[in-house]
Structure 1
């Protein structure tokens, strides 16, 4: 049974989730601003709107492999999904050069504007911070180093080591085991409702970062915290 969500201006009540001792952050779109990837598509002569479609297809195929008991790396899936999506399109360079240009964009992404202040605020609360990404730990490392907040994160975890993609339950339980924390003492922070739902079903508290003032799908387990930014999340947990 899920707890009713509460907004960032409401403190955690005795009846709600405890303040977590560990925050587990999703990386892609939760910490990283992926909007510049649209420009990468334009630069190869493809419509910029294909960026969101391609990323959705990449996630879909990762989830499908997970459901069938297999796993492939984010980079491998991303590159192949690009080949499929760009095949037959009038791009301005050879296909493999176009794929490499788009994929290289991941290593050049920056964090969202709220991330640096929010990470400092959350860390100053004495909460341990780690990441758990369906992507590589190397991409998370570059992202957080570039933002100057790498030192605030204890570990950068990847599902490549867990052997299964999120939102499979085993991805979250593996992360908890790696950090030596019980589910009730951890909170998953993500912009993706499917990630929030998966973590909730694994027994973690959850925070949905609603950057776009959207609607949370009713068919997913509700988050314990809804906030528009990591700064608001810190206010909720303070």
Structure 2
């Protein structure tokens, strides 16, 4: 079988798309907070980041993450000081593992000749550290951050930053993300889109549907190997 030609550029989201947030639950338990607060905390971080983006402003992921922790931990019977609890939980971000499909998927995409970069709403240095710990940073052409765009995804300027940095038009880039809001934002900005759905969950009907739905990066590599990537998209 002839392999499909490479897409112009695959742009990978980082938080939850590549990294697994579930181990943070242990950090919450360590400080005396319930494990189920992890999704609420992360949703609060995203809410505030999106709110700032909608207002034309921005803030560092680390700052919003700390503020959101103080919010969700307020009123909990913590084992110690609130600031110490916040520091302990945030320290776990640097130790998050990658999903099992990420390393083999990235390696297969690289070997097939695809250009692949990461684009995070967090800091590039922290994302690079995580990806290096997972043994995949060398499989990426670059690790980019919205901090250099001045606005969070899903604002158009964030995707424009990635495309411009890599020297491709928006139409030549394809976002790969597990978040429907990211898929929708990229689609509205003119990118191709791939939704990474590891749980079989329904996609929101009110958001722009993805061009391709996969169960992981390994599945994406297989799918790109079986079909033509017409117009630079999967």
Distance in 1 (CA, whole Å) between partners of 2:158 and 2:142 is 15
Distance in 2 (CA, whole Å) between partners of 1:217 and 1:19 is 29
Aligned twin of 1:96: 83
Give the TM-score, by structure 2 length. Answer: 0.92
SS of the equivalent of 1:214 reads coil
Q: Tell whether 2:194 aligns with 1:207.
A: yes
Q: CA deviation at 1:143?
A: 1.2
Q: CA deviation at 1:19?
A: 4.9
SS of the equivalent of 1:131 reads strand
Q: Tell whether 2:156 aligns with 1:169.
A: yes
Unaligned runs of 5+ in 1: 1-10, 13-17
Q: CA deviation at 1:146?
A: 0.9
1:44-193 matches, cutoff 5 A: 44-193=31-180
Task: Tell me the C-alpha RMSD between the 2 structures.
Answer: 1.3
Query: Which residue, out of 193, 208, 215, partners 1:228?
Result: 215
Distance in 1 (CA, whole Å) between partners of 2:205 and 2:84 is 42
* Count, aligned residues: 223
SS of the equivalent of 2:87 reads helix
Asked whether the 8 Å contact 2:6–2:113 carries over to 1, the reply is no
Asked whether the 8 Å contact 2:6–2:115 carries over to 1, the reply is no
Distance in 2 (CA, whole Å) between partners of 1:107 and 1:100 is 12
SS of the equivalent of 2:34 reads coil
Aligned twin of 2:228: none
SS of the equivalent of 1:33 reads coil
Moved over 4 A (4+): none
Q: Tell whether 2:41 aligns with 1:31.
A: no
Aligned twin of 1:7: none
SS of the equivalent of 1:111 reads coil
SS of the equivalent of 1:121 reads helix
Give the TM-score, by structure 1 length. Answer: 0.91
